[in-house]
Amino acid sequence: MSIKKILLYGGLFLLLVGSMYYFFSRTTPPEPQGTRVIAHRGYWDTEGSAQNSLAALRASQAIGVYGSEFDVNMTADDQLIVVHGPRHGEIENVQNVTFEEARAYALPNGEQIPTLAEYLELGKQNPDVRLILEIKSHATPERESFVVKKVLEAVKAAGVEQQTEYIAFSLHICRELARLAPKTDVAYLSGDLSPEELHDMGIDGLDYNINVFVKNPQWIEQAHFFGLTVNVWTVNKEEDMRMLIDNGVDFITTDAPELLQQVLQEKE
C-alpha cells in the first residue's frame, strides 16, 4: 500500500474515532445517583413558614434535601426579589411596582419578601443544599435578558455559582443562561419540547409537570440517552413518587419533602 493511501485511511480512521467520541460524550448520561429531593418553594408547609420565605429555606436545609427551589422576579426599579408572583398582596404584578411597594406586603408568615441577595446569603451557609433558582418570565425578551444578566451577577457576588442551578418557563431565559453561563445546569419547565430538541439547544434538563410524563413516558429514557436530567413537579402523592422513582427520574420537586425522603429510604 502506498504512503498516500496509508495517510488517507489513517486520517479517515481518526476522523471516525473522533466523531464517535464527540457523539457519545454528548449523549452518554452520567452514572445514575438515584432520585433526589427538591423542596418546592422551600419546605414551606411547616409551622411559621411560607412559600419562598427564608424560613422555608432554613427548613429545607434542616432536613437535608438535595435542593430548595425558589422564584425570582425583578421589580420595576430593577431590584431582584424572591416571590412567586405575579400577584402579591394587593399588587397585581410585582414586576410593575417598585421594590418598596412590593416589600410593603409581608409574606403569610410575617416575613418581608427576601431580596435575592438575602436569600443567597442564607443559602450559602449550607452549601450541601443546592439553590434551585427559577427566573420567572418577564414582559419582553429584552427585559428577560437583563434579568438573566443581573441574576448571574448576584449569584457570582454571593459566591454560590457552584451551588446554584437554574430553571425557567421561558425558553429565551433558558437559552440566555446557557449562553452566558455554559457551565451551569439549566432546565426548561414548560413541557412542550422533546429531550432531543432541548439537547440540540444546549439545555441541560427537562423539568416538567408530572402530567407531561404521563402523556410522554418515553421522554425519561430519551432524556437520559441525550445526557439530560429529568425533574418532575409538583409531586405530593406517595403513589406518584413511587412510580417516578421506579422510572428512574433524577429529581422530584415536592411540597412534601419529608414524605419523599421516607419513600426513598424505604426503597433503599
pLDDT in tens, 125-145: 999 999 999 999 999 999 999
What pLDDT, on the 0 to 100 scale, is given for residue 30?
Answer: 41
95-113 pLDDT, tens digit each: 999 999 999 999 999 999 9
Q: Can you tell me the distance from the alpha carbon of 115 to that of 122, in angstroms, rounded to the nearest whole number?
A: 11
Nearest to 37 by CA among 129, 164, 136: 129
State the chain's mean pLDDT as an integer.
Answer: 91
Read off the C-alpha cell for 229: 436530567
Q: Is the pLDDT of residue 235 over 70?
A: yes
The radius of gyration of the chain's CA atoms, rounded to the nearest angstrom, is: 21
- 86-124 in b/e form (b: 16+ CB < 10 A) is eebeebeebbebebebbbeeebebebebbbbebbbebbe
Cα of 174 vs its chain's centroid, Å: 10
Is the whole-model pTM more than 0.85? yes
| DSSP secondary structure letter of residue 137 | P
212-228 pLDDT, tens digit each: 999 999 999 999 999 99
Q: Is the pLDDT of residue 72 over 80?
A: yes
What pLDDT, on the 0 to 100 scale, is given for residue 89?
Answer: 96
Burial (CB count within 10 angstroms: exposed 0-12, middle 13-18, buried 19+), residue 261 = middle
Tell me the domain boundaries of the chain: 1-30, 31-267
37-53 pLDDT, tens digit each: 999 999 999 999 999 99
21-34 pLDDT, tens digit each: 434 443 444 444 69
What pLDDT, on the 0 to 100 scale, is given for residue 29?
Answer: 42
What pLDDT, on the 0 to 100 scale, is given for residue 10?
Answer: 47
Given 1.10.3720.10, 3.30.300.10, 3.20.20.190, 3.50.50.60, which CATH number is that of 31-267? 3.20.20.190
Q: Is the pLDDT of residue 14 over 90?
A: no
